[in-house]
Structure 1
Amino acid sequence: MCDSRRNPKRKATEIAAAATTTGAAQGARDYQMLLHEALAPITKDELQEWEGWCEVESEPAFFNAMLRELGVKDVKVQEVFSVDENYVATLPQPIYGFIFLYQYFPENYENDEVVDSRDLWFANQTTDNACATVAMTNILMNCKDVDLGTNLQEFKDSTSNVCTPLRGHALASNVFIRSVHNSFTRRMDHLNADLFLETEAADSKKMSRRGPAKKTKKTKKHKMDSESGYHFIAYIPANGSVWELDGLKTRPVCLGPLEDDVHWANLVCPEIQARMRQFEESALSFNLLALCKSPLTIISENLARTIHAFELLNSRTNRLGGWQSLVAGNEQPLRGDETERLAGFGIDSSDLVKAEVDPEFKKKVTNPSMEAMELFELYSDLVTQQKSLMGEYNTEIAFMREDDDRVQGRQKDHSPAINRWVQRLAEHGVLADWATDS
């Protein structure tokens, strides 16, 4: 007679083995599903729904792409390689503000003189990784002559009468601004940001259980923690003074009054140099960006002036005998009646109407004692100037295309291809061979 107890034991073993196999298979499927989701391209809807903020590199191309997406007109971000006064003077003017990137350290500024800043638009940074957009927005909102576009203008109007922390909260909660900020990110960037925030929250809970840390005396030299993050702050001229706008400070800090015939950057440069000297022993890297009037706009305006100058000169020379033979082979490169070509250089009829001729040039052209050869010399100079401006415009367009390539390269996610390549290597035993060899 068979022992009836053996069958249940066998069945239990089989069930346990089956459960183990099923669990392993389910785990593998779950892993593959999670991996697939982590590597999938992020959609526009997901980008808008995600409430986090990713870090933005201090790359002018990215900031310029953000400006275009935000709808800001005729502003360009350029990298500044020196804070020397002569170098700053070569940047496109006007300079609306500077964005400075440095490794963050807390500062004592409460003893600084408090200057009335009520007319400034200033927002605090209320969420991690938003400092790049906070700094740029703090500059743009104080530019009186800049077209902010519909969305940013509405945001400025809606936050004009709220306190600085609530402005920061409104900025952090604005889906349009946040989506533009995150437009360079990939799904893995989002996952890393979420993981970092989760870890930071867990560490904060641990620290709160330990109680407050002991206070230590501050030193003039700041010894940086290698884990300290980098931070963007802004500098602007506004309301007769130069200001530092740091979203992590409770208020704007006045650096001093504007002076006649002195570029406002002259007050900022010593401040930036002082910050850099504090860390000269640490060999840390810094970065400085300038928000300037777009060179394309400046070139278009200058081209419109040359066209107006040609028209003034032609009205003076059309009665001169032999003038056409004199200018033959050296024709005007760009005329006011070439509508399509003008559009290619960002010029329309209203720009030609607004264009003003240099008073000194006008004085020479209208001088009745000017000889034909003297007028021809003016004409030749105009031809040279116009050709040069057209070349500068095309060069700037080429720079913009290079920027677009950088942005597209940053947005392109190679993770799925790399993962698939590694899987293929594993299937062919290459990874196992590498592991054995090492």
Structure 2
Amino acid sequence: MVDPRQYLFPLILFLFQIVFTFLLGFHSEYKYFPVSNVTDYESPSRGLVEFYYAMFTDIHVMMFIGFGFLMTFLRRYSFSSVGFNFILCAFTLEWAIILRGYLFDWDSTTQKFIVDVQSLATADFVSASILISMGALLGKVNSVQLIVMSFIEVPIQVVNEWIGLHLFCGFDPGESMYVHVFGAYFGLAVTFVLFRSDFLDSPLEKSRYTSDLFAMIGSIFLFCFWPSFNAGVTTGSDRIHAVTNTYISICASVIGAFLMSSLLKKSKFDMVHVQNSTLAGGVAVGTVAGSNIGLHGAMVIGTLAGMISVLGYNFLSPRLPNIRIHDTCGVNNLHGMPGLMAGITGIIVASIGDRSGFSKHLTDTCRGGGKSRDSSTQSGFQAAALGLTLGMAIVGGLIAGMILRLPIFAQKGKDFDDEENWHLPENESKEDITRGITMARTAL
């Protein structure tokens, strides 16, 4: 008998696509600002394609190639890692453009929201958050659960960011709090609810030489383009600060990660550390990327982030299952802890005053003094933005996890195995698969 749930994925996508088409059709409009009209290059119009497009394309590559290939390390899950990343990112971008349009850019006069290059870039930021959550769940959920998770997570992330930016006015140009912290702890909360002890015994939750090599492709793309991620929507002096600080910090995290990996692995290196912890500096500097922290400050942040991330993979990750958390990609070590580090750094730097640059981004909607907010108040609101993000991520993730556990979504299958989701090449016969599993179990 045919299980009707096998048609659930195309049905959900079809219905969402119809709704999204109508919403964009009735309530969105193009926005372009000619470069010939620019008189203030310190604060160019957000509709200026020539100013924003180059960095937008870098961010777009990070989402589809960087994150996609970074998750191909599992020996039998590469099709799903790249494929699910592809569809989930595309779905999230559509949903994020709509929700951010209504919440951030709604014009009550025209009854429309604008869509320009900056809208596309900020939608990519939202997708980064959802892809980080996917990393915690990689190999343990099906395609329907990922789409449903994205549908739930995107509005929570967008509302959290709106409160953080417009009410708390927490300065975070690299989105370390609103993207990395949120995505990591939302995903970890979901995996807490979906935890099963048999996740820990799967022989397929291992890498192999070629899968690790493909994952390094994602790491290198992310490394190269991270300055664009942290500087993508900045302008003026904030942009040169963000590009330079990120460049230095992420290079420093490579040094810190290799250094700590060599110490812990007795003069050898662990590829997990090289694939992930080397990027931690890009996350850790994000909140203060647009600030005048000095290149020595970026060096310190990046080096510490790389070292702390490696320590997390080595000591913390093996202990998380004791509290019912199974983190497939180690997002706590690459995004969670470095994101918290960024948030704490933002609290400290905000107290410096002029060097933090936060005062340039205050508006009359900001609580605690509006445009006249002082440094100590800003530090308090930076802490509030970080705390709110953690709270909304964890609570939202727990609720999403309970929904994903509903029988209609939680279709049981083999974990960490492409055979559940893809037509595999003919040379990947079941005998080959069985032989590989047997060899893996023997090695264990």
Which of these two proteins has the greater Rg computed from alpha carbons? Answer: 1
Flag the structure with higher strand content: 1
Please identify which structure carries the higher helix content.
2
TM-score normalised to the size of structure 2? 0.22
